[in-house]
Structure 1
Amino acid sequence: MAAGGPVELHDDVRRHLLHLQVERRLAARTLAIYGEAFERLQRCADADGVAPRAVQPHHVRRWAGQMHRQGLAPRSIALVLSAWRGLYRWLGRDGLVAANPVDGVRAPKAPKPLPKALAVDQAVALAQPLDDDTTSPALAARDHCIVELLYGCGLRVAELVGLDVRSGAQGAGWIDLPDASAHVLGKGSKRRSVPVGRPAIEALRGWLTHRDAMAPADEPALFISQRGTRITASQVRSRLKRRALIAGLPTHVHPHMLRHSFASHLLQSSGDLRGVQELLGHANITTTQVYTQLDFGHLSKVYDAAHPRAKKRSP
């Protein structure tokens, strides 16, 4: 039942609100939220011609469904049901209801939020060499290479910082320049190889000229800090955030956003879900389906171009 004008609350409900205010000492904002929930309960009960004490589980389930159909968010429905559940628990302690009609009734599950992807032009702008007078040429080359690998290969930040200069060292992975491939150790200690594109290879060569002058002889890490030690995931996040600001991007950028952008852009261009799954290192293809966002317009074009039932009829 949608919210409307003023409603006369049942005595039981008014007494419970007073209990929350005086004995529980809830904050004014919290009391207002409870009050709105109880007004919604009263409207639902009045519409069905049932007294609050006579409410049954089937009433609550139907009212929760009504709230969902009216567009109330799952989290908001959960808050309403929690307030109702507390009311009937309180009434039950005084023996005024035989059972709590809200027990066992749950709000609809909220959809799992997907990480945001950058637009293609934003990702390309972030990957371009930036004119930054406050950063040394060495760090600028390093940060440029980091972006190219995160976006160009879809690496996780842990896979990136675990890269070594060559295979056989202590790190989790390495990049084979002649073969233009990255070999990484992903989740579950599973190794995979991904191709490295020409822009990333060029950025990598540019960084290596600086790295060799910065790193101690016994440091195997591909990406190092100014102190000559392996760069951390936190440092990558900080540098990426700063780089996005310099590039003028209108959003906060983090490493996983570049991985998601890699997957989304590749999938929209190729439509090869299985191939993207392999490149991301997902054990289950359903993970790839949830992880990547597809543009519906692109899907429609793929369908129109490929499916025999999609051929337009002649007029």
Structure 2
Amino acid sequence: MAAALIEPLQRYLEHAHVQRRLAGRTLSIYRDALTRLQGLAEADGVDLLRLQQAQARRWVARLHAEGLSPRSLALQLSAWRGLYRWLGGERLVGHNPIDGLRAPKAAKPLPKALDVDAAVQLAEHAEPERDPGLEARDACIVELLYGCGLRVGELVGLDVQAGRAARGWIDAQAGEAQVLGKGEKRRSVPLGGAALRALQAWLAQRPRLARADEPALLVGARGGRLGESQVRLMLKARALAAGMPAHVHPHMLRHSFASHLLQSSGDLRAVQELLGHAHIATTQVYTKLDFQHLAKVYDAAHPRAKKK
């Protein structure tokens, strides 16, 4: 059973409930935060009405070391900061020791990528019972996303050929895609053999589905340019049909392209150019994915990696 809060902390909670009208869940979070604060003070023999910022900072570091996440720490500090603001208004403290304290920054999650076998499984998946035009189009989409590392916006912006109004286009003869990426920066992306074959198969079917005046490379059932949401829905359904996780999305294939290319080549600058990243630091995240892969291989295979 949690210890009862000391009188100033209990009064602040009542103030938060009656005067600030905080929601029940928020009040529960605040109560937990104040209970933790009181426990820290009791453990170190600190009078909360005489708390100094250096001590509060040590408590934040201690909680972080014990595994409290940056988000949870931010909630703790919000409750503590509100408490001392109220205590100052009540003239119970002369300063707010929590002002200026910030929770550690949360680590950016690594992008999720398919492993090579899963990516190939998705790329090679076929549904021969479907309309051949739609099947060829969807296979082409997967190959362009995984084989070229395109963003979904770059993909749907592609036209069949270059034109004054074209944001991007396919040059099948040269074996490359001209895309307009972030910051209106244009780049050339080579098409691999699998992507070229899928593209040619789709181009053979496209006249049957596309409107006569439609410049878009990829079209929907009504003959107009395919939208980003349609690509996402298609890819999710295709991944499920191929036995893949339900959360496969276009950007995951871009991450897979970058990760697998870096694993094979080790050429970070080349991967940066192919992805169209303005800064090398953006591309460097894939070195972490590569290291994770190598670490798993080591743990599974090396005799000295076995833990007793």
How does the TM-score come out when normalised to structure 2? 0.90
- For 2:14 and 2:81, locate their aligned partners in 1 and report how far apart those are by CA, in whole Å: 17
What residue number does 1:142 align with?
A: 137
**Cα drift, residue 14 of structure 1:** 1.2
Does the 8 Å contact 1:177/1:201 carry over to 2?
yes
Does the 8 Å contact 2:236/2:246 carry over to 1?
no
The superposition leaves residues 68-104 of structure 1 with CA deviations (integer Å, 9 ceiling, x where unpaired) of 1111100000000101011111111111111111111
| Matched ranges for 1:126-165 at <5 A | 126-131=122-127, 133=129, 135-165=130-160
Aligned length: 296
What residue number does 1:49 align with?
A: 45
Give the one of 5, 11, 14 matched to 1:9. Answer: 5
Give the one of 179, 182, 203 matched to 2:174. Answer: 179
Q: Can you give the 5+ residue segments of structure 1 that lack an aligned partner in the other structure? A: 302-315
**Cα drift, residue 27 of structure 1:** 3.6
- Tell me the secondary structure at the aligned position of residue 194 of structure 1: strand
**Cα drift, residue 212 of structure 1:** 1.6
Give the one of 20, 31, 43 matched to 2:16. Answer: 20
Does the 8 Å contact 1:267/1:294 carry over to 2?
no
Of stretches 186-195 and 142-151 in structure 1, the one that deviates more from structure 2 is 186-195
What residue number does 2:262 align with?
A: 267
What residue number does 1:61 align with?
A: 57
Q: Does 1:31 find its partner at 2:32?
A: no
Give the one of 198, 204, 208 matched to 2:203. Answer: 208
| Identity rate, percent | 63
- Tell me the secondary structure at the aligned position of residue 105 of structure 1: coil
Residue type matched to 1:20 in 2? A
**Cα drift, residue 299 of structure 1:** 5.9
- For 1:136 and 1:162, locate their aligned partners in 2 and report how far apart those are by CA, in whole Å: 24
Q: Can you give the 5+ residue segments of structure 2 that lack an aligned partner in the other structure? A: 297-308
What residue number does 2:299 align with?
A: none
What residue number does 2:282 align with?
A: 287
User: Are the structure 2 counterparts of residues 297 and 113 from structure 1 closer, same or farther at C-alpha, using a change threshold of 3 Å?
Assistant: closer
User: Are the structure 2 counterparts of residues 299 and 244 from structure 1 closer, same or farther at C-alpha, using a change threshold of 3 Å?
Assistant: closer
What residue number does 2:253 align with?
A: 258
- Tell me the secondary structure at the aligned position of residue 230 of structure 2: helix
Q: CA RMSD in A?
A: 1.9
| Matched ranges for 1:164-243 at <5 A | 164-243=159-238
Give the one of 89, 95, 101 matched to 2:97. Answer: 101
Residue type matched to 2:70 in 1? P
- For 2:141 and 2:26, locate their aligned partners in 1 and report how far apart those are by CA, in whole Å: 46
User: Are the structure 2 counterparts of residues 122 and 169 from structure 1 closer, same or farther at C-alpha, using a change threshold of 3 Å?
Assistant: farther
- For 1:68 and 1:16, locate their aligned partners in 2 and report how far apart those are by CA, in whole Å: 25
How does the TM-score come out when normalised to structure 1? 0.88
Does the 8 Å contact 2:152/2:251 carry over to 1?
yes
Of stretches 203-212 and 170-179 in structure 1, the one that deviates more from structure 2 is 170-179
- For 1:191 and 1:99, locate their aligned partners in 2 and report how far apart those are by CA, in whole Å: 55
